Structure 1
Amino acid sequence: MDSLSHLTPSELYRLAGYSSKSRIGSSNASQRNNISENIVQDIGSAYCSIFNWATMQYTFISDSVKNVLGYNIDAFFERGLNFTFSIIHSIDMRKLREVHLAIFSYYYKTAPTQRSRLRFSYNLRIKTASNDYIQILRQSTFIDFTDDGKPTMEYIYNTNITGFKFNNYINLTIHQLSESGVYVLCHEQEFSDSYPKLSERERQVVELVRKGLLTKEIADQLNLSIETVKSHRKHIIAKTGACNMTAAINMIRN
C-alpha cells in the first residue's frame, strides 16, 4: 500500500478485520444517551469517546471535547470519521495507515482472551476550531468484541499534550495489563515525518517572513513579483499542511 495516501473509513474498517463489504452508515443520534457520563472523568485538557467498530460510528463523546478542540459533539456524530479525519494534520494522516496496520497486526497476534488487556497510545496533531494545531495523546482499549474476536467497542481517552516538546513524529506504544495490574510496555514504534522538501527560494521566503517582512518587501528583496511571492507562500503552506504561514514557520522551526 502507498503510505502517502490517506486512510479512509472503509479501509480502516477492513484493517480492523471486518469484511470489505462495508457496513459503515450514518450516525444514529439516539445512541448518544445510551452511555452515562459517569463512566468518564472530564478535565479541561482531555475528552473521552467510545467508538463502535462494527458500525464505524461514535457511540459517545464527552462534552469536554468543546474545551479541548472547540467543536461541538454534533460535528462528530453527524459527520463521523470523515469529520475526524478532516481535522487531523495532513502529514499525520499520511502515517495513520501504517499506525493502524501496526496496531491491528499486534492485536491479532495477541490471544483473544488477552486483547482487552492491551492499551494503544499514539500522538497526533489535530486542528482546533480556531485553526490552531495541538498535539493530542490518544490512549485506547477495546472493551467489547465479536464472538470471533474482532473489536467492537473502543474506549478512547484524548489528552492535550501540546505543552510538551515534540519532533512531530508519531510514536506508537502498546502496553499489556499484567496479572498484578501493571501496564507493561510490549511494543514501541516511531513513524517519522514525511515533509516534502522546500525549494531554495521557498526557504528564502520562509526566512524573510520569519524576520517580519511583508509580501511586497520580500518581493523587492528577492527581485520577484508580488504574485510570485504569494505563490511561494501558498506552496509552503500546502507542503507543510499548515493552516497559515505562521503555523508553517513554527512547524519548520520545530
Structure 2
Amino acid sequence: MQPFTDNTVNKTYPKEFYDLIKVWQSKAYGSVPVDYSQSFQNNPEFLAVLNHSPCVTSILDLRTQQFAFISSNVKEILGYGSCHFMEEGITFYNTIVHPQDLQITWKLRKAIWDFILTLPPSEQAQYKFNYDYRILKPGGKEVRVLAQNSVLQSDCKGNITHILGMYSDISHWKKSEQQVASLISTAHDTCLFFSQEDNDKFHPQSSLSKREIEIVKMLAEGYSSKLIADKLFISFHTVNTHRQNIMEKTKTKNTGGLVQFVVSHGLI
C-alpha cells in the first residue's frame, strides 16, 4: 500500500479513515521482537485451530496497514477469501462494510485510537476495544460483525505496531442498527462506552465499574437478584440499583436486552 496524501484521497472513503492512516504513518517505528508474517506458519497445529475456530483471527501491521495474518475461515464467516485481505490490507474493509455503517465505523475507530494514545505505552496493551458494523457478503446478504481488538506488539520506542483482531458473526444477537464501541480494561475490569453525540463526534459516554461488570456476568448466567446479592454479600436493593444503573448506561430496557447488549459487544 502506498502512503496516502492529500492529493490521492479517494472521496468515497470517510475522512476518518485517512486521518487514522496518517496517524499510523506518522510514527518513526523502531525494531520489534516478533515477525508475525511467519510466526503461525511455523506452528501448523495452532494454525489449524485458528482456521477452524468460530471467529476470524487477524494480525494487522500498523506500519504498513497490511495484514500479517488472517485465518482462512474468513471465507466461511465473512464471505471473502483471505487473499483479498492479504493483498489489499485494511483498505479492503471499505469495500465490504455496509455503506450506512462505513463512516460511523471509522469515527468509532478513530475515537478509540485517540483515547488509546492518551495512555502510557505500558498500559495500552491492557485494553480491548470492540465495535460492531454490518458487512455485505457477495450477493448482498447483510452480516453484523463484532470486531474485538487488542494491542499485540509495540516497538522498542513504545509505538503500537500490531493489532490482534477477532471477528464474529453476531447477526443473531444484535438487531439494533445503533453502533457503539466499548473499551475494556483487562487490568481494572472496567468498561468505557463510546457513542455518537449531537455534534456528530464520538466521545466516551459512560462506563461500567468492576462491580457492575461482575453483576452483568451473573445476570447473563441466569442468576436472580437475590442469588447475586447472596454471592456478593450485598443487599437485594443494592443489586437492583446496580441493575437499573447498568440499563441506563447501556440504554437497554430490561434484563434480556441488557444481556443481549453485553454479549453482542464482547463484554462477557
Q: Same fold (TM over 0.5)?
A: yes
- State the shift of 1:166 in Å: 2.7
The structure-2 alpha-carbon separation of the partners of 1:157 and 1:7, relative to structure 1 and needing over 3 Å to count, comes to: farther
- Counterpart of 2:115 (choices 97, 106, 109) is 106
In the other structure, the counterpart of 1:167 is 176
- Counterpart of 2:73 (choices 39, 64, 73) is 64
SS of corresponding position for 1:170: coil
The structure-2 alpha-carbon separation of the partners of 1:48 and 1:7, relative to structure 1 and needing over 3 Å to count, comes to: farther
- Counterpart of 1:11 (choices 3, 11, 19) is 19
- Counterpart of 2:153 (choices 144, 150, 153) is 144
In structure 2, distance between residues paired with 1:33 and 1:157 = 19
In the other structure, the counterpart of 1:46 is 55
- State the shift of 1:163 in Å: 0.2
- State the shift of 1:103 in Å: 0.9
Which deviations, in whole Å up to 9, do the C-alpha atoms of 1:13-37 show, x marking residues without a partner?
A: 2244x4199xxxxxxxxx7544246
Q: Which runs of 5+ in 2 are unaligned?
A: 1-11, 29-35, 199-268
In the other structure, the counterpart of 2:189 is 184
Q: Read off the aligned partner of 1:13 and give its amino acid letter.
A: I
- Counterpart of 1:35 (choices 34, 40, 44) is 40
Question: Is contact 2:17–2:106 with CA below 8 Å preserved after alignment?
Answer: no
The structure-2 alpha-carbon separation of the partners of 1:64 and 1:124, relative to structure 1 and needing over 3 Å to count, comes to: same
Question: Is contact 1:47–1:159 with CA below 8 Å preserved after alignment?
Answer: yes
The answer to whether structure 1 residue 121 and structure 2 residue 121 are counterparts is: no
RMSD (Å), alpha carbons: 2.8
In structure 2, distance between residues paired with 1:98 and 1:64 = 28
Question: Is contact 2:13–2:94 with CA below 8 Å preserved after alignment?
Answer: no
The answer to whether structure 1 residue 154 and structure 2 residue 159 are counterparts is: no
In the other structure, the counterpart of 2:84 is 75
Q: Read off the aligned partner of 2:195 and give its amino acid letter.
A: E
The structure-2 alpha-carbon separation of the partners of 1:153 and 1:5, relative to structure 1 and needing over 3 Å to count, comes to: closer
Point out 4+ residue stretches in structure 1 off by more than 3 angstroms: 7-10, 31-34, 39-45
The structure-2 alpha-carbon separation of the partners of 1:115 and 1:20, relative to structure 1 and needing over 3 Å to count, comes to: closer
In structure 1, distance between residues paired with 2:99 and 2:179 = 13
In the other structure, the counterpart of 1:210 is none
Which deviations, in whole Å up to 9, do the C-alpha atoms of 1:151-185 show, x marking residues without a partner?
A: 1010000010000133211110001112xxxx623
- State the shift of 1:104 in Å: 1.5
In structure 1, distance between residues paired with 2:23 and 2:175 = 28
Identity %: 21
The structure-2 alpha-carbon separation of the partners of 1:158 and 1:112, relative to structure 1 and needing over 3 Å to count, comes to: same
Question: Is contact 2:145–2:169 with CA below 8 Å preserved after alignment?
Answer: yes
Larger mean Cα displacement after TM superposition, 70-79 or 4-13: 4-13
Q: Which runs of 5+ in 1 are unaligned?
A: 22-30, 194-254
- State the shift of 1:110 in Å: 1.4
Larger mean Cα displacement after TM superposition, 108-117 or 53-62: 108-117
- State the shift of 1:100 in Å: 2.2
Bigger Cα Rg: 1
Superposed, 1:215-234 pairs within 5 Å as none
Question: Is contact 1:116–1:142 with CA below 8 Å preserved after alignment?
Answer: yes
In structure 2, distance between residues paired with 1:107 and 1:8 = 16
Size of the alignment, in residue pairs? 176
Under a length normalisation based on structure 1, what TM-score does the superposition of the two structures give?
A: 0.61
Under a length normalisation based on structure 2, what TM-score does the superposition of the two structures give?
A: 0.58
